[in-house]
Amino acid sequence: MAGGYDTDIVTRLETNLDDLSPEITGAVMEKLLAAGALDVWFTPIQMKKSRPAVQLSVLCEEARAESLADIIFTETSAFGLRMEKIARLKLERRFETVTTKFGDISVKLGLKQGRIIQTAPEFASCLSASERTGQPLRAIYAAALAAYAAQP
Amino acid sequence: MAGGYDTDIVTRLETNLDDLSPEITGAVMEKLLAAGALDVWFTPIQMKKSRPAVQLSVLCEEARAESLADIIFTETSAFGLRMEKIARLKLERRFETVTTKFGDISVKLGLKQGRIIQTAPEFASCLSASERTGQPLRAIYAAALAAYAAQP
Amino acid sequence: MAGGYDTDIVTRLETNLDDLSPEITGAVMEKLLAAGALDVWFTPIQMKKSRPAVQLSVLCEEARAESLADIIFTETSAFGLRMEKIARLKLERRFETVTTKFGDISVKLGLKQGRIIQTAPEFASCLSASERTGQPLRAIYAAALAAYAAQP
Amino acid sequence: MAGGYDTDIVTRLETNLDDLSPEITGAVMEKLLAAGALDVWFTPIQMKKSRPAVQLSVLCEEARAESLADIIFTETSAFGLRMEKIARLKLERRFETVTTKFGDISVKLGLKQGRIIQTAPEFASCLSASERTGQPLRAIYAAALAAYAAQP
Amino acid sequence: MAGGYDTDIVTRLETNLDDLSPEITGAVMEKLLAAGALDVWFTPIQMKKSRPAVQLSVLCEEARAESLADIIFTETSAFGLRMEKIARLKLERRFETVTTKFGDISVKLGLKQGRIIQTAPEFASCLSASERTGQPLRAIYAAALAAYAAQP
Amino acid sequence: MAGGYDTDIVTRLETNLDDLSPEITGAVMEKLLAAGALDVWFTPIQMKKSRPAVQLSVLCEEARAESLADIIFTETSAFGLRMEKIARLKLERRFETVTTKFGDISVKLGLKQGRIIQTAPEFASCLSASERTGQPLRAIYAAALAAYAAQP
C-alpha cells in the first residue's frame, strides 16, 4: 500500500532495560539522537521479579543500525537487542515562514499528492520566539497558526 | 497562598484496583462523572505479585464524597478508599463565542484578577463543528484560536 | 505455527504523537473505530526534549489500512506512520445466551479445535442489563458466569 | 465523613527514584511488604533530563512509618521521602468458604453496615486450588463466584 | 547486519488484555516464565471505552511458541494473539566469580568479538549475598563492581 | 515522627493536563526547574473521553509556590491547580571527591545521625568525566563507586 504517500523502510531497535539507572538511561537518549537516530523513545514496562523497567526503542536508517547498536551495547546494560525492518508512510514536507507580532515563525507543512493536510508551527522556531519575547510558547503557537490561516 | 487566584477546597478519593477487569473499570468512570465527580482519572501502577494494576482517582466537592464513595465500593473491587482534602487555585472562567468559517465556536477564557491568561476553544463546541462540517477537529481548534486572536 | 488455531494476517499502523492535544487524540480513537479498525490503543511513551507523548496503535485488515492511514494523517499531527503485517492466532468464536435473575445475557465462547477454552460475558449485554436493573456490572458478570457454569 | 464505613488514618510514604536499577527497586517491594507495609506500589514517572523514573509509594500504619522509612533510605537511592497522613474508608471484612468442584475456596466479603456489597474469591486460596488441580485460575474464580451465588 | 554480534531469530507473542483481573494477569507471568519463555513483560495501554488495559508480551524460541500460546489462551481472556519473528543481536556471555567482603559474587560479562563491553553482577548471586549478610543489595552490587574493577 | 532524620515542609502543586501538546508540556519542565522548583515530574494518566493525558507535579518551597503557580497558569492549559503541604524526611548531605582513572569524581553521601547510609556518584560530575574521556557513563559510575569503596 502506498496510497499517494511517500514510503521508505526503516530499522527499529528495541531492548528491555531492567538493570540500568534512569539517570544513565536518560543520558543515552541524547547520545543516540546525536549519532543520527531518527527517533528514540522510552516505554514504561513491568518485567519479572516486580521490576519497573523501561523499553528503549530507536528508529533509524538501516545504514545506521550497526553504529547505534554499538552505542546501546556500550552505554546501557543490554545483552540483547531486537531488530526489525518496518515500512513507513510519510507526508511530503515543506516549510513556510509566517509573520506574527512575535516575529517570523517557521511552519512545517505536510502534503499528500501536493495537497496540504498538515500544518505545524516548528518547535525550535516557536521556542526561540518565546525566549526572545518572553511570551508563553502556547501564545506563539496560536499566533503562528492564526497567521498561517490568515494567508490569502 | 492565594496570589490573586480563586480558591476552594475539594476532596480527592483514591483506591488501587488490582482485581477488577479493565472493562468494568472503564465503565465506572462514566458512572462517577454522571454522579457529579469534578474529575476522574486512572494511573497505571505496579502492585505486589507482578500485578499491572490501576489507581482510580476522583476529585469532588466535599458534599459529594459520600455518594461517590458508595459508587466506588459498589461498582469496583475496592475494600478501602483514601480520602484527602486539597486546596485548589483556580482561574476565573468566562466564555466567548467567535465566528469561523466552520461556524460559531465557544472559547473558554481563564482570568487572573481580571486579566485573560488562558484561551481554550471548548472541546464540545469544536467537536460539534467538526461533525457538522466533516472537517478535522484540529482545523476547528486552529480556526477558533485564529478568530479569537483576530478580534480587535 | 498454527497448532489448531485459526490464523489470519492483519496490519498494524503506529505513530508517535508528541504535538497533539490529548483532547484531540482521544477523539481520534472513536473515528478510527467507526471507520472499521479492529483495535485502537494508546501507549504512554517518553520522547526527546522531555515530552510525555503517546504512541497510537491501530490493528486493521490490510484492505482498510489506506483509509485508516488517511484518517491518522488528517486528524492527528503525524507526518509519518509505521506499517507492519502481523500474523494472528485466533480462537473460533461462538455466542450463547444464558438466563440470569438480571435477564438474558450473551456469553462469548472461544474454541480451539471444537473445545471451549474461553468463556466471557459480553460487555454490551452486561452493560444493558446493568442499566436496565440498576445493578452493578460486576454482579451481572458474576451471575452470567454462574449461569453458564450451572448449565448441564 | 464516615457514612457508615469503618475509618482509620494511615501514613503514605513516597519518593521518586531516578538513580536506582529496576532490579533493586523490584527487590525493595518484597522487603517493605515483609516489614509490615499495608501496600506498596510503583508508578512510572518522567523526571528531568529525560529520566524514565519510578515513584515508590508505601501505605502503612503510623507506628510502622519510621522502620519502613529506614528500609527505604537504606535499600534505595532516596535522599528524601514525602510523608502524609491520609484518612481511609473501609468495608468491614468477613470470610466464608464455598465448595466447588475444584475444592473449597475462601471468599472475602465486604460489608457496609452489615450489608454485603463486595464478594471476592481470595487470591491465595484460588491459586492453591489452581496448583492442586492444574486448572486455570480464571476457572477457579468463576467457580467460586458461582458457588457463592448459588448459596441459599 | 551482524556487525560482530551473535544473532538469532525469536518469536514475540503479544495480546491486549482488557477484561482480565490484574491478579490473574500477574499470575500468568510466572506460568509463562516457568514454561520456558525467554522474557515476559506488561505494558500499560489505554483501550476503547476508557479501559486501562495491559499489553502482554512474550519473547520465546520459535519451538516454544505453540505451547506458550496455549497457556495464554487458557489462562488469560485473550481471543487472539499477534505473532512476529524478530532478529536479535546478542553479546556473547561469560561468567566470572569475584571475591568481596560479602562473599563470592558471580559477575556476568558481555563480549563483542572477544572484547568485554558489559559487566553486570548477577542478581540472584547478589540477592543471596544480601540475604546471607543482611546488607543492602546496593552495597553488594557496588562491592562486586569494585572487586571486578580491582582485578589485575 | 522524625526518627533521626532532618525534616522540612514542602508544597506540592499538581494539575491534570488534557489539552496541551506534549511539545509544550516538555518545555514547561525546564521553565519550572529554572524558576526554582525542587522537583518536577510527569505521570501518564487516562482521563475522560479517552484522553491520554499527563499529570504535572511540582515540589517546591512554600515561598516559591505562588511564582511557580503563575508559570503553570501562564504556560500550560491548566484552569486549576491542586496545592498540598507535605512533610519530608531527609538525609543530611555531604560531598566527597574520589580519584579514578577517569579523573576526579564527586560523590554525594547521605547521612542519618552522622552515619553514612547512601553513596551516589554525582550525575553532573560523571557526565563531564564521560564527555572528557569518551568512556561510557556506566564505567565512570562503577569506577567512582570502586574508588569510594577502596578508601581506608
3-class state of residue D82 by DSSP: strand
Please answer whether residues A124 and A140 qualify as being in contact, where contact means their C-beta atoms are separated by less than 8 angstroms.
no
Q: pLDDT tens-digit profile of F74-133?
A: 999 999 999 999 999 999 999 999 999 999 999 999 999 999 999 999 999 999 999 999
Find the residue in E nearest to A68 (Cα): E3
| Record: contact E52-B26, CB cut-off 8 A | yes
How would you classify the pairing of strands F92-100 and D92-100? unpaired
Alpha carbon B27 to chain centroid, angstroms:
16
Provide CB contacts within 8 A for A125, sequence distance 6+: A105, A106, A144
pLDDT at B2: 64
Q: Where would I find the H helices in C45-95?
A: 65-75
Provide CB contacts within 8 A for B144, sequence distance 6+: B98, B100, B105, B107, B121, B126
Question: Which of B44 and D151 is assigned the larger pLDDT?
Answer: B44
Q: Which of D15, D16, D47, D49 to mutate to test the interface with A (most CBs of A within 10 A)?
A: D49
| Cβ–Cβ contact D43 with B under 8 A | yes
pLDDT at C48: 98
CA distance A99 to chain B (A): 14
Q: Please choose, from the candidates A104, A36, A26, A31, the residue with its C-alpha nearest in 3D space to the C-alpha of residue A74.
A: A31
3-class state of residue E2 by DSSP: coil
| Cβ–Cβ contact C72 with A under 8 A | no
How would you classify the pairing of strands C80-90 and A80-90? antiparallel
Written in H, E and C, the secondary structure of C82-137 is EEEEEEEEECEEEEEEEEECCEEEEEEEEEECCEEEEEEECHHHHHHHHHHHCCCH
Q: pLDDT tens-digit profile of A80-120?
A: 999 999 999 999 999 999 999 999 999 999 999 999 999 99
Instruction: Name chain A contacts of D53, Cβ cutoff 8 Å.
Output: 22
The parts of chain E modelled with pLDDT lower than 50 are none
| Record: contact B110-F62, CB cut-off 8 A | no
Q: Do domains D6-89 and D92-149 have the same CATH topology?
A: no
CA distance D120 to chain F (A): 26
Parse chain C into domains and list their residue ranges: 6-89, 92-149
pLDDT at D122: 97
The fold adopted by the segment(s) D6-89 is Alpha-Beta Plaits (3.30.70)
Question: Residue holding cell 483576530?
Answer: B150
Please answer whether residues B77 and B60 qualify as being in contact, where contact means their C-beta atoms are separated by less than 8 angstroms.
no
What secondary structure letter does DSSP report for B20? S
Amino acid identity of residue F1, one-letter, is M
Q: Which helix or strand (DSSP H or E) is residue E149 part of? A: helix E137-149
Instruction: Print burial letters for A64-99: b (CB count within 10 Å at least 16), e (below 16).
Output: bbbebbbbbbbbbbbbbbbbbeeebbbbbeeeeebe
Question: Which of F11 and D145 is assigned the larger pLDDT?
Answer: F11
What backbone phi and psi angles, to 5 degrees, belong to E56?
Answer: -95, 125
Q: pLDDT tens-digit profile of B107-118?
A: 999 999 999 999
The C-alpha atoms of residue F13 and residue F32 are separated, in whole angstroms, by 11
Average of per-residue pLDDT values in chain A: 95
Over range D113-125, report the average pLDDT: 94
Residue-level length of chain F: 152
| Cβ–Cβ contact D91 with B under 8 A | yes
Over range D89-97, report the average pLDDT: 96
- Within 13 Å of residue A145, how many CA atoms lie on the same side as its CB? 22
Over range B13-35, report the average pLDDT: 98
Please answer whether residues E135 and F149 qualify as being in contact, where contact means their C-beta atoms are separated by less than 8 angstroms.
no
Facing A52 at nearest CB: one of B46, B143, B145: B46
| Cβ–Cβ contact E83 with D under 8 A | no
| Record: contact E46-F50, CB cut-off 8 A | yes
What backbone phi and psi angles, to 5 degrees, belong to C62?
Answer: -55, -35
Looking at the DSSP bridge assignments, the partners of residue A93 are A110
The C-alpha atoms of residue A75 and residue A60 are separated, in whole angstroms, by 18
Alpha carbon D87 to chain centroid, angstroms:
17
Please answer whether residues B132 and B103 qualify as being in contact, where contact means their C-beta atoms are separated by less than 8 angstroms.
yes
Q: pLDDT tens-digit profile of D16-65?
A: 999 999 999 999 999 999 999 999 999 999 999 999 999 999 999 999 99
| Cβ–Cβ contact B1 with F under 8 A | yes
Grid coordinates in use for D147?
A: 458457588
Amino acid identity of residue D139, one-letter, is A
D104 pLDDT tier (thresholds 50, 70, 90): very high
pTM of the predicted model as reported, rounded to 2 decimal places: 0.97
How would you classify the pairing of strands A6-17 and A80-90? antiparallel
Please give the sequence-ordered ranges of beta strands (E in DSSP) within chain B, or none if there are none. 6-17, 39-47, 51-60, 80-90, 92-100, 103-112, 115-121
Q: pLDDT tens-digit profile of A16-55?
A: 999 999 999 999 999 999 999 999 999 999 999 999 999 9
pLDDT at A123: 97
pLDDT at D150: 82
Q: Please choose, from the candidates A79, A86, A102, the residue with its C-alpha nearest in 3D space to the C-alpha of residue A19.
A: A79
Over range B87-114, report the average pLDDT: 96
A2 pLDDT tier (thresholds 50, 70, 90): low
Please answer whether residues B131 and B125 qualify as being in contact, where contact means their C-beta atoms are separated by less than 8 angstroms.
no
Q: pLDDT tens-digit profile of C45-76?
A: 999 999 999 999 999 999 999 999 999 999 99
Q: pLDDT tens-digit profile of C14-49?
A: 999 999 999 999 999 999 999 999 999 999 999 999
The C-alpha atoms of residue C74 and residue C57 are separated, in whole angstroms, by 16
Question: Residue holding cell 538511561?
Answer: A25
F150 pLDDT tier (thresholds 50, 70, 90): confident
The C-alpha atoms of residue A10 and residue A59 are separated, in whole angstroms, by 7
Please answer whether residues B86 and B9 qualify as being in contact, where contact means their C-beta atoms are separated by less than 8 angstroms.
yes
- Within 13 Å of residue E70, how many CA atoms lie on the same side as its CB? 12
CB atoms within 10 A of CB E114: 7
Instruction: Name chain D contacts of A44, Cβ cutoff 8 Å.
Output: 44, 52
Average of per-residue pLDDT values in chain F: 95
The C-alpha atoms of residue A149 and residue B100 are separated, in whole angstroms, by 11
* Positive/negative CA dihedral, F126, F127, F132, F136: positive
Instruction: Print burial letters for F8-36: b (CB count within 10 Å at least 16), e (below 16).
Output: eebbbbbbbbbbbbbbbbbbbbebbeeee
Question: Residue holding cell 516575529?
Answer: A103
Grid coordinates in use for F86?
A: 507535605
The C-alpha atoms of residue C30 and residue C37 are separated, in whole angstroms, by 10
Q: Which CATH number fits domain F92-149: 3.10.20.300, 3.40.640.10, 3.40.309.10, 3.40.50.300?
A: 3.10.20.300
Instruction: Name chain C contacts of B142, Cβ cutoff 8 Å.
Output: none
Question: Residue holding cell 468491614?
Answer: D92
Segment E60-67 long-range contacts (CB within 8 Å, at least 24 positions apart): E60/E10, E60/E11, E60/E13, E60/E36, E61/E10, E61/E11, E61/E36, E62/C1, E62/E9, E62/E10, E62/E11, E64/E11, E64/E35, E64/E36, E64/E37, E65/C1, E65/E11, E65/E13, E66/C1, E66/C3, E67/E35, E67/E36
CB atoms within 10 A of CB C139: 22
Instruction: Give chains near C: 3+ CB pairs under 8 A.
Output: A, B, D, E, F
F43 pLDDT tier (thresholds 50, 70, 90): very high
Question: Residue holding cell 498538515?
Answer: A118
Written in H, E and C, the secondary structure of chain A is CCCCCEEEEEEEEEEEECCCCHHHHHHHHHHHHHCCCCEEEEEEEEECCCEEEEEEEEEECHHHHHHHHHHHHHHCCCCEEEEEEEEEEECEEEEEEEEECCEEEEEEEEEECCEEEEEEECHHHHHHHHHHHCCCHHHHHHHHHHHHHCCC
C152 pLDDT tier (thresholds 50, 70, 90): confident
